[in-house]
Amino acid sequence: MNAAVCTTPLDLPVLLDYWLGDLAPDAADAIEEHLMSCAPCADELSGLVALGAGIRRLADAGRIWMVVPGAFLQRLIEEGLRVRQYRLVPGGSVECTVSANDDVVAARFSADMRGITRAHLVKVDANGREAHRIEDIPLTESTDEVVVIERTDRVRALPAGVERVRLVTPDAAGERLLGEYTFVHTPSS
């Protein structure tokens, strides 16, 4: 096969399946045979691998806001990252901060998630008005909490103040409150 031409290029889903271990062994073997002889497809996969490495760097730096399973936080800790966690019950509040030593900061919102198929996170201002909404957060295997990783750089830049978050689920009447949580933030000295 010429180094620069591929007549049977591998498409993105196949490369993803190969890289992330979703192919049966025989199919993975065939992909490896192709990749070893095909520079364009190897280049394509290299680009995906670089993208994955970039995602990992951002996640490890606490620069991605996301809802995660609790097990993901545990994996970060086992990798040696410093994870600051706050646990909140519905109606509860917590005094919080983030230090220069923290890599990742996470909130663990306790809530009864049994039977819940859709949920939104709503940030409200000091007057109780909706300031920001994240629709359809991913639900995890947990039935008793929602774990959110907040951007560490955003939290570090916050002045002293109060932030409220509501966890809601749509229902026939509009929305049902699953919990409201209050953060009393103090900048790290």
Partner 1 sequence: MRPAGTLVSMNASDAELARRIAASAPGAASDAEAELYARLAPRVRLYGLRHLRDAHAAADLTQQVLLMTIERLRDGKINAPDRLGSYVLGMCRMVVLDIQRGGRRRERLLREFAGDVPLAASAPEPRVDTDRLDDCLARLAARERTVVVLSFHSERSALDVGQELGLTAANVRVIRHRALTRLRACLEGEEAKP
Q: Binding residues for partner 1, per CB under 8 A? A: 1-4, 12-13, 16-22, 32-33, 35-39, 42-43, 45-59, 63-69, 71-72, 75, 134-141
Closer residue to partner 1 in complex, CB, 2/186: 2
Residue length, the chain? Answer: 189
Residue corresponding to tokens 């949580």: 181
Q: How far apart are CA 97 and CA 121, in angstroms?
A: 21
Cβ at position 145, least distance to partner 1 in Å: 13
Query: 44 vs 24, 59, 80, 96, 163, CA distance in Å?
Result: 21, 23, 31, 44, 43
The region, left, alpha or beta by phi > 0 then psi within -120 to 50, assigned to residue 124 is beta
Cβ at position 133, least distance to partner 1 in Å: 11
Closer residue to partner 1 in complex, CB, 33/175: 33
Do 124 and 166 meet the contact criterion of CB atoms below 8 Å apart?
A: yes
Closer residue to partner 1 in complex, CB, 85/93: 85
Strand partners, 123: 132, 165
Closer residue to partner 1 in complex, CB, 42/158: 42
From the CB of residue 77, how many other CB atoms can be counted at a distance below 10 Å?
Answer: 14
Cβ at position 164, least distance to partner 1 in Å: 19
**Sign of the alpha-carbon torsion through 72, 120, 128, 130:** positive
Closer residue to partner 1 in complex, CB, 53/126: 53
Cβ at position 189, least distance to partner 1 in Å: 27
Cβ at position 152, least distance to partner 1 in Å: 12
